[in-house]
A and B are shown apart, each in its own frame.
Chain A
Amino acid sequence: MDTLDTHAWLADHGDYLFRMARRQLHSDALAEDAVQETLLAAISAQARYAGHASPRTWLTGILKHKIVDQIRRNVREVELPRDADGEEAVDSLFRQDGHWAETVRPWGNPHAEAELSQLRRVLDDCADRLKPVMAQVFSLREVAGMETEEICKELGITPTNCWVLLHRARLFMRQCLELNGFSKAGAA
């Protein structure tokens, strides 16, 4: 039988899968688990692989499910609507009358690749600083590009909670990015 070189999966794609999982799970340990589960699932399913995609594409497809599984487990432990801290933090960004408490400063417009990878590093650092569930839901939406409806369904949270969570995540991300040099002094 033509066996797949499973050893090569880890050697050739392990780091790639880990980085991808790390960006969405915001935890080294959870990302390692997701990679391990992916490779073990791949061993079980190798008969179905049949070489119709590149190994990386195939493994990445399995990884996506494992990432959602991990997040689902995580979400179960958190009571989203009772997150009073999050609510207060949002309130602090606005005045009582609903206006922004501080001016929303404009961002620069980086194009050079070096600048962009610097920015991406800041983006990932800021995402890591969100509360875990918030960071993971945000990443499913903005990094993985999953539809919100799909995210809610997969994680068993209501659309309203999803919007609230994403709204908070985006407000905090914007604030974190501004504090870390995204804003351009003096630009219009």
Chain B
Amino acid sequence: MKWIVTCKETSLLASRAMDERLPFADRLAMRMHLAICKNCARFNRQLQEMRRLFRVETGADEAIAPGLTPEARRRIETEMQKKLGS
């Protein structure tokens, strides 16, 4: 196991750490790197910020994201009628 990791390696560890608990040695190597590297520390914070922004439940989305088109709505309606009639 290596104790000195590059920024590239750290970015992979930081990403993985968003998904699971890293093995001890990896966690230590990542923390040591993050403590001295401003770029990676920022990257790590931004991963968390991205998650926070994505997961916010929001009514605001309704205002900006389009809904079903009339054509799609009609198509689905037709399929539902077929299903109900069968």
Residues of A within 8 A of B (CB): 6-7, 10, 14-16, 18-19, 22-23, 28, 32, 35-36, 39-40, 43-44, 90, 94, 97-100, 103-107, 113, 116-117, 119-121, 123-124, 141-143, 145, 147-149, 162-163, 166-167, 170-171, 173-174, 177
Contacts and interface: CB of A to CB of B under 8 A. Distances in A.
Nearest to B41: A104
Nearest to B38: A104
Contact of B61 (A94, A120, A163, A177): A120
Contact of B43 (A35, A44, A104, A162): A104
A113 B68 contact: no
B60 A6 contact: no
Contacts of B51: 142
A44 B80 CA distance: 10
> What's the dominant secondary structure at chain B's contact region?
helix
Interface of B: 6-9, 11-12, 15-16, 18-20, 38-40, 42-43, 46-47, 49-51, 53-56, 58, 60-65, 67-69, 72-73, 75-77, 79-80, 83-84
B11 A167 contact: yes
A14 B50 contact: no
Contact of B54 (A44, A100, A142, A149): A142
Given A43-B83, A167-B12, A15 B76 contact: no
A120 B52 CA distance: 11
Contacts of A106: 42
B67 A166 contact: no
A7 B54 CA distance: 31
B60 A100 contact: no
Closest CB pairs A-B (n = 8): A98-B6, A15-B67, A117-B60, A148-B19, A104-B39, A167-B15, A94-B8, A98-B8
Contacts of B16: 163, 166-167
Nearest to A42: B80
Contacts of A166: 15-16, 18-19
Nearest to B54: A142
B12 A119 contact: no
